[in-house]
Amino acid sequence: MSRQPVIIDADPGLDDAAAILMALASPELDVLGLSIVAGNVPLQDTVVNACKIVGVSGRTEVPVYAGAAGPLVREQVFGKYARIGAFSDDLVARSGIEPSEEHAVRFIVRSAREAARAGEPITICAMGPMTNLALALIQHPDVARGIRQIVSMGGAFTALGHRTPWAEFNVLADPHAAEIVYRSGVPIVVMPLDMTFQALFTAEHVRSFSARGGAAGRALYNLFSTFDRSDIARFGRPGGPIHDATTIAWLIRPDFFTSRKATVGTQVTGLTMGYTYADFYQKMDRTPNATVVTDVDEAGFINLLIERISLFGSAAPGPKTPGG
């Protein structure tokens, strides 16, 4: 099996925890490392959380790199559940893992250049503010040649926002970085709230993490059962989305998703800073720069995430196969 080389750029975070564990359990992916950014919580906490997630997965050979502590231009904002901070030990066990001394931006640059030389471009899954990626692309434009695609969870079009009425959090937290990435020329896949809101995980689904997923699954259960994600007033039914895991699912099972080409950009100033637009009909007379994922097979995605997390309960996933 040909394994896709992947860097996960994240700001853990509940959703990030599920996505990272899904990736580490998937034999289709070669996770080169975790590039961590401030976002849901401050950088010192996102780094602790990333190390704990890697530890509970058993994939301790996967390195963690600390990156940008704040956005490029705007004042810093944190996520809805910023009070979580670093995951407490009773939710996710202490790992003993420490981040690498190499900065996350340098890691991205080095990895992309090595990939370009080898003729095997990497995929970057962006699950948080895209500050690390923007810094890499601004400072070293040549790294774009080593990036096959950036699969980003971010933006909101018809769904409107969840952090403000007009903005999805990852873009809101650093809209200038998002705009740099969108205009970089690197192929972009956008997983917006419009799509992620379609797949809701109920309490029963969350319990299945604990019942089948070993220590990793129990950690996910602890997180998602402690911090309720449901919003019946908005979604019209029980359950809540696990946004970031859609980026990993798209790499593994793209047939679960429907997408359209569009020109995507971000408002970087004024009251509506962080608003994302998608021009599906070329009203702007610009060549589309993104693949926007519009729909998801809810049952397929949910079952895939549960199935991958359950592999942690059968045997410790390894770098070659989830079972060994």
The closest alpha carbon to 277, from 269, 287, 266, belongs to 266
Q: Can you tell me the mean pLDDT for 44-58?
A: 97
Q: Can you tell me the mean pLDDT for 31-50?
A: 96
Distance CA 286, CA 306 (A): 40
pLDDT at 163: 80
**pTM for this structure?**
0.95
The closest alpha carbon to 253, from 309, 314, 305, belongs to 305
pLDDT digits (tens, 9 = 90+) for 279-315: 999 999 899 999 999 999 999 999 999 999 999 998 6
pLDDT at residue 322 is higher than 50 = no
Where are the domains positioned within the chain?
4-314
Distance CA 268, CA 59 (A): 38
The owner of tokens 């942690």 is 312
pLDDT confidence bin for 59, thresholds 50/70/90: very high
Q: Can you tell me the mean pLDDT for 235-249?
A: 95
Distance CA 56, CA 209 (A): 13
Q: Can you tell me the mean pLDDT for 226-230?
A: 83
Helix (H) or strand (E) holding 70: none
Between the two ends of the chain, the Cα-to-Cα distance in Å is 15
Helix (H) or strand (E) holding 27: none
Q: Is the peptide bond before 13 cis (omega within 30 degrees of 0)?
A: yes
Q: Which CATH number fits domain 4-314: 3.40.50.300, 3.20.20.150, 3.40.50.80, 3.90.245.10?
A: 3.90.245.10
Q: Measured between alpha carbons, how far is residue 171 from residues 139, 152, 219 in Å?
A: 20, 10, 27
Q: Can you tell me the mean pLDDT for 51-68?
A: 97
CB 276, CB 178: distance < 8 Å = yes
The owner of tokens 């937290």 is 173
Among the options 162, 176, 205, 243, which is catalytic?
243
Q: List the structure tokens of 288.
A: 């589309």
CB 174, CB 131: distance < 8 Å = yes
The closest alpha carbon to 39, from 69, 11, 68, belongs to 11
**DSSP sequence for 183-219:** TSSS-EEEE-HHHHTT--B-HHHHHHHHHHSHHHHHH
Residue 70: how many other CB atoms lie within 10 Å:
17
| 205 is known as an active-site residue | no
pLDDT confidence bin for 230, thresholds 50/70/90: confident
pLDDT at 321: 40
pLDDT confidence bin for 235, thresholds 50/70/90: confident
